[in-house]
Structures are given as structure tokens and as C-alpha cells.
Amino acid sequence: MAELCDLEAVELRRLIGAGEVSPVDLVESCIARIEAADPAVNAITAKAYDRARAEARAAETAVRRGDALGPLHGLPIGVKDLSDTEGLLTAYGSPLFADNVPVADELVVAVLRRAGAIVLAKTNTPEFGAGANTRNEVFGPTRNPFDHELTCAGSSGGSAVALACGMVPLATGSDLAGSLRTPAAYCGIVGFRPTPGLIPTETRGHGWSPLSVDGPMARTVADAGLLLSAMTGHDPRDPLSLGVDGAAFRALDTVDLGGLTVAFTEDLGFAPVDSRVRRSFRAARQALEPAVGRSVDFAVDMAGVDEAFAALRAVGFVAAHREKVEATPDKVGPNVTANVAAGMKLGLADVASALTVQTRVVRDADAFLSGVDVVICPVAGHPPFPWRDWYPATIDGAALSSYFHWLALAYGPTLAGLPSVALPFGRDEAGLPFGLQIIGRRRGDHAALSAARAIEAWAGQNGFGRAIPQISQ
């Protein structure tokens, strides 16, 4: 019989509202799973057990009184350790903040708590989210739940592992170059990068930059939609804020795959992709393609994306971390230091060129997607690698240009501002989880999630369902 912590969030919320499951029992189930599973994978950085128990008791009382309940009422969540949490250690993976306990919740946490969620724990991340391998000097490495010698990717690796292991039914992530999509693919869960501005944030140093976004992580598309519904909204401190009512994400559309026009592509026309990933994607495409209505070639001009993304990413790092690197160079890791150094070498012409390329790619992608429902490609250009390696240095023997070049499949959609779902799709040839990236139209988040849910249902019925790790008890 499944433990409460293993049930889907949508079902748990229904059972809580009906009085058939106690939030107290659910919190205890999640705590028991954390204590049993986390020593082997190291996903959790801070625990709020006492407060969570008290909030669960209050949530149970509210159900009994017949109070109006929020969409996440009584559901425990994990919060990525880049978001401030009131009274709970928030280190950002940095020795500079190893003892930092914020006095207030960040917006994305505050809105989830107002929706009834119970913050149970913080989840591990690389230093300031820099890097697709979740390890840092404060908490150490988070390991892949399917093979503890491999990385879970990053930077939302702790959240992905916590979800895969059943420690929480929902978790937050954030995404710049695949930071929630890549760990989702490596751990067999769902990660959603929304259109910039759908989830407002007050923390971006460059308020007009669309590169970094918060996003929901879950075990199913419907669960991700439920979490997204509470994260979505408006905040005047975010100049990109779209002000969309999130309630619609709690009821995704029923999509007929036979009516979809899909562009399948192994590499988005520019990304380095390992031959093992290509073989897994070809097998997935061969199985899925007959179920969709029409298949077309991918035709977006991605020339210059590598250089443009690297430049705009570096500008963001200079804004966020230059002072730390200059004041305390011995306490800032190599990824952050390298990004700041790259940004300081840029000239005005470099930044202008990057913004021009980005504008062209956004317009070209919008035009192409006006006649295509979704683009489907792999999530990551490389299979899971040993956690002791910071990143893959080569793909099929060819050297990569940077420590994040292998993430081009993810940062291409980032530069274009497109919503992207990392969807579990069975296992690769090594028996590890494999993920498809479902890319939708800009501001077409609901349609992208709805299409992903239809593919998820097809996958479950045809032998490509979500891989589930064995949990050490």
C-alpha cells in the first residue's frame, strides 16, 4: 500500500478537503520519508518540522470547522534554498550565508503559504544556483536517487530529488539555463519553466531580464499546474509581471494528441547532444510520433544563441555577485567567479549584439510557433554524469566552450522566452530516467502544460511512464 507521501498532490488536496486525510498524518509521512531517504541522497538543507506540525494541526482544525480552504491547503512543500524563508536557514549554497536566517519570506514563498502550503524543508542547490551539479561547500553534494554516484543535475537538484524520493509532494525551483528542467529529467519528475513574468519575483537585480524565472516542480503535470496556480499573480515590484489569474492552471485542458502539430528536433538546430541522448530521443520519437496529428521540421534560426546567452547571463552575474567576488574572493566559488569575470570583459557592443540576437530569436520563434502547437526535444544534451565532475567537458569527444554549453537545449528556449515542460518519458539505455522537453508558445503556458499532460497520459499507457527510484528504508 502506498504511503501518503507518495500520493499525487492533486489527490492529496482532494482527500484533505474531504476530511479523508489529515494534514498531520501527511506531514508525519513526509518527515518519516525524509529521515529514511535523505541520508543517502542529501537533498535537504534545513528542516522546519516543529512549525510544520503546528501548521498541520491548524490546517486540520480548519477543515473540521468548514473554513474556506486554499488550493494548497495542508500540502507540505520543499523550497529551493535560493528563496528566503522566514525563520528557516537560507544559505544559497554559499559559505557567506551559512548562518543566514531571514526575517521574512520571499514573495514566492509567501504566496504559497497564503495558499495553504506548509513549508517542511529547504532543498539543496549549488552556490547561488550557478551550475548544473547540485553541490556546494556548505551542504555537500546531492546525489541522483537512481545511482548515488551520479549527479542529480542542478541547480534545483535538491527539489527534484526530494520529489523523486517522496519526501514532499510539491517543491519550488528556479530556472536560467535549465536549472529546474535538467534535474527534473535526471530524476524522473516534472519541471516547468513558465513564460517570464507569469510568476512575479522581487529578487531579480535586473528587473527587465527574462532569463531567470521561478517555477513549479512536481511528480505529475497536474500537480505542477496546481502549484503554479498559487505561484502565479501580480507584483508591482516585477516590471515583467503579467498579472495572470492562476486559477485556470488547476484545470488543464483535455488535449487530443491526434490534433496536435508537433516539431520534433534532436538538437534545436544548434545544441551539442550526446549520441546516447540522441538514441533515446529517437526511440521516444519513433513511439510517440504516430500518435500526434502532424509532424513538421523545426525551423527557427538559432544562430548566435550560444554567444548571446553567455553574454546576457554574464551581465546578470555581474549585477548580482560582483561585489561579493571583489570583497571576499576566497569565499566565492569558481563558477560564480568565472561568470563575473566573463561579464567584466564584455563591451557595450557585445551586450548590444546579444540583445539584438535575442530579439531576432524571440520574433522568429513566435512566428514559427504560430503554426505549431509544441516543439519536442530532449531536455539535456548529456546523460547523468558522476557527481564529482562539475560538468561534462566534452560531448562525443568534442570539447565544449563553457561549463554550461552542454545545457544549450535548455538555454535556447530560455533566450526565446518560451514556456518549457520537462516531462518524464521512461528510461534511457542505461536504465536512468529520460525526459522530453515540451516547448510551447510564448505566454501559451496553459496550452503547453495541457499538451504535456496528454503526452504524459499516453506515455503511462505505452510503457514510457515515470521512473521511480527504490528508496532505502
C-alpha 282/C-alpha 198 separation (Å) is 32
What is the percent of the chain with per-residue pLDDT over 90, rounded to a whole number?
A: 98
- Determine which helix (DSSP H) or strand (DSSP E) holds 469, and give its type and residue range: none
For residue 473, being part of any structural domain is answered with no
- The separation between the first and the last C-alpha atoms of the chain, rounded to the nearest angstrom, is 15
pLDDT band at 75 (very low <50, low <70, confident <90, very high): very high
The string of pLDDT tens digits covering residues 131-157 is 999 999 999 999 999 999 999 999 999
The string of pLDDT tens digits covering residues 253-271 is 999 999 999 999 999 999 9
Q: Do residues 420 and 378 make contact, with C-beta atoms less than 8 angstroms apart?
A: no
Torsional sign, CA 94, 159, 52, 38:
negative
For residue 472, being part of any structural domain is answered with no
Active-site entry in 155, 156, 159, 174 = 155
For residue 410, being part of any structural domain is answered with yes
Active site residue 80: yes
For residue 191, being part of any structural domain is answered with yes
Q: Specify the pairing of strand 118-123 against strand 44-47.
A: antiparallel
Is the model's pLDDT at 248 over the cut of 70? yes
User: Of the candidates 90, 113, 93, 112, which has an alpha carbon nearest to the alpha carbon of residue 102?
Assistant: 90
Domain span at residue 136? 4-462
pLDDT band at 473 (very low <50, low <70, confident <90, very high): low
Is the model's pLDDT at 2 over the cut of 90? no
For residue 155, whether the previous peptide bond is cis, meaning omega lies within 30 degrees of 0, is yes
C-alpha 366/C-alpha 229 separation (Å) is 25
SS3 assignment for 55-107 = HHHHHHHHHHHCCCCCCCCCCEEEEECCCCECCECCCCCCHHHCCCCCCCCCH
For residue 467, being part of any structural domain is answered with no
C-alpha 385/C-alpha 189 separation (Å) is 18
Active-site entry in 29, 174, 179, 450 = 179
Looking at residues 36-51, what average pLDDT do you find?
A: 98
Q: Give the number of domains in the chain.
A: 1
Q: Do residues 116 and 74 make contact, with C-beta atoms less than 8 angstroms apart?
A: yes
pLDDT of res. 471: 87
C-alpha 457/C-alpha 425 separation (Å) is 10
| pTM: predicted TM-score of the whole model, two decimal places | 0.98
Beta bridge partners of 294: 261
Is the model's pLDDT at 1 over the cut of 80? no
390: its cell numbers:
562539475
Looking at residues 61-70, what average pLDDT do you find?
A: 98
- Determine which helix (DSSP H) or strand (DSSP E) holds 126, and give its type and residue range: none
For residue 180, being part of any structural domain is answered with yes
As a dihedral over the C-alpha atoms of residue 184, residue 204, residue 93, residue 143, rounded to 10 degrees, the angle is 10
For residue 207, being part of any structural domain is answered with yes
Active site residue 179: yes
pLDDT of res. 43: 99
Looking at residues 353-368, what average pLDDT do you find?
A: 98
CATH classification at residue 136: 3.90.1300.10
- Determine which helix (DSSP H) or strand (DSSP E) holds 228, and give its type and residue range: helix 221-231
As a dihedral over the C-alpha atoms of residue 192, residue 108, residue 144, residue 471, rounded to 10 degrees, the angle is -100
pLDDT band at 116 (very low <50, low <70, confident <90, very high): very high
Query: Could you give the C-alpha distances from 231 to 211, 266, 327, 348, 374, in angstroms and in order?
Result: 18, 31, 35, 36, 23
Active site residue 155: yes
Active-site entry in 22, 29, 80, 420 = 80
pLDDT of res. 205: 85
Is the model's pLDDT at 171 over the cut of 70? yes
The string of pLDDT tens digits covering residues 312-350 is 999 999 999 999 999 999 999 999 999 999 999 999 999
